[in-house]
A and B are shown apart, each in its own frame.
Chain A
């Protein structure tokens, strides 16, 4: 089998840099010394496993976590989590968080003067299924101002946190919506250097997955680095 160890799998050419001065918070937080290349070991090829005990009954339906329905456009956000060899990443924890329809997070440090929604916490989690699929029901988040530069607004987005099956696959990213006029102006999105990379954090509207008379649907497929190997077997790389 010609499987590649994650160590040698093609790296995304479109990772953002640490230092991206247009995103002001990177200036004092970006490492300034070169990274040290680490040949992957068991430490990086293994990773935590979480089961259904981490998932509550309403965790995949962000519109059903309170007594009433949240304000906003109901949407389904769904997709597959794959590794770079297109193998499904199974039974893996997916966590999401987002602003409400008015662009406000249910978070103590968010002081944007837009209304909180008592029926929306904006937090979801689920496990991928045997085909690597996940699915959330939520509302479309609003844009919000963030003071990075004069009149700065974040485009609408949903935050994603993924574990995959190995430490090396750990990923935190954001999903954006097609056609958002704020994307061109957003330094976080534009820190991804090439257009193909930016395309990979864009959801796609999917009419087939809409729920008639109920909700629109957006597909967001996620590709994690490396193959889904049993981390404790000898790989070509280690031979």
Chain B
């Protein structure tokens, strides 16, 4: 007997004190070798910053293994959580994930899974961050392959001085690709 899932409801505007963790943006501790900042802004359909969103990330370690997976780095949490500030911005200190290989040997290009929750989102939106230097690995990536070519660029982070930038556009012309899981 299967049960229908409990429906989603919006996170609303008042989640801050409950869901903000001091270590949330630190997927790795400050000072970790190779760490960089993944930063971005969440924007609405009018191009205005969304200052009350919650961004969460989930990613593999540099060897391409998820926390808890055999051979995975037990100290690499893989999860980040950051509320956006008044300018709609978020930031995570993290390491670049490796190529994730599934049990059948298929590889996925390095990527970070992202959820965005906010007032006005009755359910989260889910997207992925890919990295600009991984063009070869991305050509066979199953998630990217499912996307029309002209929209793939919305999932590509841009290199910056201290890491990468990835903006999330909830609605409109350059709307970020969101996934139905």
Q: Are B172 and A200 in contact (CB under 8 A)?
A: no
**A57 smallest CB distance to B (angstroms):** 17
For the residues of A in contact with B, the DSSP-based class is: loop
B38 at the interface (CB under 8 A from A): no
| Given A29-B170, A48-B77, A84-B4, A23 and B120 contact (CB-CB distance below 8 Å) | yes
A139 in the interface, Cβ–Cβ < 8 Å? Answer: no
Residue numbers in B under 8 Å from A110 (CB-CB): 14
Give which listed residue, B44, B69, B151, contacts A46 with CB less than 8 A: B69
The interface stretch among A69-77, A126-134, A165-173, A211-219 is: A165-173
Q: How far is the CB of A192 from chain B (nearest CB, A)?
A: 5
A1 within 8 Å of B (CB atoms): no
A162's nearest neighbour on chain B, judged by CB, is B6
Q: Does B102 contact A (CB under 8 A)?
A: yes
> How many interface residues does chain B have, given as a range?
35 or more
Across the interface, B177 reaches (CB within 8 A) one of A10, A26, A36, A225, namely A36
Write the nearest CB–CB distance from A79 to chain B, whole angstroms: 10
CB distance from A56 to the nearest CB of B (A): 12
B96 in contact (CB, < 8 A):
no
Within B66-103, which residues are at the interface with A (CB < 8 Å)?
Answer: 66-70, 77-79, 100, 102-103
Is the beta-carbon distance between A49 and B67 smaller than 8 angstroms?
yes
> Which of A26, A159, A161, A223 meets B3, CB within 8 Å?
A223
Shortest Cβ gap from A228 to chain B (Å)? 13
Q: Across the interface, which residues of B come within 8 angstroms of A121, CB to CB?
A: 17
Q: Are A192 and B19 in contact (CB under 8 A)?
A: no
The interface residues of chain B lying within 8 Å CB-to-CB of A29 are: 44-45, 50, 118-121, 170-171
Bound-state CA distance A149–B2 (Å) is: 38
Contact B4 A223 (CB under 8 A): yes
In this assembly, does B136 line the interface, its C-beta being within 8 Å of a C-beta of chain A?
no
Which label, helix, strand, loop or mixed, suits the secondary structure of the B interface?
loop
B1-43 contacts to A (CB < 8 Å): 1-19
B 93-125 binary contact with A (CB < 8 Å = 1; else 0):
000000010111000100101010111111111
**Nearest-CB residue, chain A, relative to B101:** A42
**Beta-carbon contact of B118 and A36 below 8 Å:** no
Q: Which of A10, A167, A172, A225 contacts B58 (CB 8 A)?
A: A167
**Contacts A48-B67, A159-B18: A13 and B4 contacting too (C-beta < 8 A)?**
yes
Report Cα–Cα, A196/B117, bound state, in Å. Answer: 24
Interface residues of A (CB under 8 A from B): 4, 9-18, 20, 23-33, 35-44, 46-49, 82, 84-86, 95-97, 99, 105-110, 121-123, 125, 159, 161, 167-168, 170-174, 188-189, 191-192, 196-198, 200-201, 222-225, 231-234, 238
Name 20 extra pairs, CB < 8 A, besides A39-B146, A109-B52: A14-B4, A20-B122, A26-B122, A27-B45, A28-B120, A29-B45, A29-B170, A31-B125, A35-B178, A37-B146, A38-B143, A43-B111, A107-B14, A108-B16, A159-B15, A170-B124, A172-B10, A173-B6, A222-B6, A223-B3
Residues of B within 8 A of A (CB): 1-19, 44-46, 48, 50, 52, 56, 58-60, 66-70, 77-79, 100, 102-104, 108, 111, 113, 115, 117-126, 128, 142-143, 146-147, 151, 170-172, 175-181
